[in-house]
């Protein structure tokens, strides 16, 4: 709603500008009276006369431009503009809410519907602004040029960052490096994309904090996308083991732990990798269990579930004592 309001403030600025008209003293009625020209005008050369005429022509042109703008903007037009903006806002808000509710009811179509919402919002606002300009104001080319010059100056000094973010939002919707519902990493922030607006993109982090990232920053920095429009994504659980641990037995335990989890997506492979790592001057065998979660919103629950199942089985088989197994949740 902020950008239509900005447009309305600009319209009201012109509508409340200084009135231009003629006072009673500016009009002279001549009835049978012989007017003697001013001596200064009598003594004027033809060049001076032309200069004075040109100056009066410029003043008249300025008056015509101002009058054109004032005729272009009137109270009824402003009134209906406000009504259309309010109705448009309510319609967009209502339809977006309905689509969001429908999306949350099905994991299969959630990301598809959520990806449509920001496009629908931007296209609808553009259509509303077009209807207001062409249907209500119907400006002439003179008025368009006059308003365009004023708006250009205002934007050039006060709205550079806003324009960068708006074009950034358009770029995100066009190129789709990510969409609503994706898990992305921008800088130090990782989370699920919940909203792509004109000015910023909002993500919700794993600790349930909402972070607003300016669109200009989102398109200029490196963005890591965990699922790229799919409902599933890869999850990695890590467990540190003593260096002499039997990797074959541990691999089988890890595979079974992932396969029996209620959050696993079995249409993609499960992988177990081992590597040695030195931590706090001690050598460990790091096991990395990679599997896909069926819904990205269960990412960290799935990671915890796999880790707990692996450690529990290792303890039950007495493969390692409890004090030598370490979990890495980072």
> CATH number for the domain including 279?
3.30.70.100
For the chain, how many residues are written?
Answer: 330
Residues 121 and 184 in one domain: no
Strand order in the sheet with 271-279: 271-279, 282-293, 233-241, 326-328
Range of the domain at 264: 233-328
Instruction: Tell me: do 102 and 141 sit in the same domain.
Output: yes
- pLDDT for 30: 38
Both 127 and 213 in a single domain? Answer: no
pLDDT recorded at residue 282: 83
Are 118 and 150 within one domain?
yes
Question: Do residue 133 and residue 75 come from a single domain?
Answer: yes
**Structural domain includes residue 270:** yes
Same domain? 238 vs 270:
yes
Which pLDDT value is given to residue 156? 67
| 218 & 261 share domain | no
* CATH code (residue 201): 2.30.30.60
Q: Whole-angstrom Cα distance, residue 6 to residue 314?
A: 63
> Tokens for 64?
């015509």
- What pLDDT was estimated at residue 142? 72
* Domain membership flag for residue 306: yes
Domain count, the chain: 3
Q: Based on the domain organization, do 6 and 152 belong to the same domain?
A: yes
* Residues 74 and 11 placed together within one structural domain of the fold: yes
- Where the chain has pLDDT below 70, the residues are 1-72, 143, 154-159, 322-330
């Amino acid at each position: 709603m902020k950008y239509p309001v900005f447009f309305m403030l600009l319209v009201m600025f012109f509508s409340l500008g200084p009135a231009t008209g003629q006072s009673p003293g500016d009009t002279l009625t001549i009835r049978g009276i012989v007017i003697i020209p001013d001596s200064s005008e009598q003594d004027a050369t033809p060049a001076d006369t032309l200069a004075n005429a040109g100056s009066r022509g410029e003043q008249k042109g300025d008056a015509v431009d101002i009058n054109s703008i004032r005729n272009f903007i009137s109270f009824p037009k402003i009134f209906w503009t406000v009504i259309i903006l309010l109705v448009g806002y309510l319609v967009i808000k209502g339809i977006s809410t309905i689509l969001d509710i429908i999306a949350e009811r099905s994991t299969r179509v959630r990301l598809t519907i959520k990806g449509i919402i920001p496009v629908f919002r931007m296209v609808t606002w553009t259509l509303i602004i077009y209807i207001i300009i062409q249907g209500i104001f119907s400006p002439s080319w003179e008025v368009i040029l006059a308003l365009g010059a004023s708006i250009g100056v205002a934007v050039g000094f006060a709205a550079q960052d806003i324009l960068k973010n708006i074009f950034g939002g358009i770029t995100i919707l066009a190129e789709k490096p990510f969409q609503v519902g994706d898990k992305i990493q921008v800088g130090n922030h990782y989370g699920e994309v919940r909203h792509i607006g004109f000015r910023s993109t909002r993500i919700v982090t794993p600790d349930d904090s909402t972070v607003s990232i300016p669109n200009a920053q989102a398109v200029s920095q490196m963005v890591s996308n965990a699922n790229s429009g799919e409902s599933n994504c890869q999850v990695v659980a890590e467990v540190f083991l003593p260096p002499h641990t039997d990797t074959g037995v541990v691999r089988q335990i890890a595979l079974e732990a992932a396969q029996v989890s209620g959050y696993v997506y079995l249409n993609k492979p499960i992988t177990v990798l081992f590597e040695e790592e030195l931590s706090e001057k001690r050598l460990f065998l790091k096991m990395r269990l990679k599997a896909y979660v069926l819904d990205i919103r269960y990412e960290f629950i799935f990671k915890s579930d796999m880790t707990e199942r692996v450690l529990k089985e290792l303890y039950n088989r007495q493969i390692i004592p409890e004090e030598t197994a370490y979990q890495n949740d980072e």
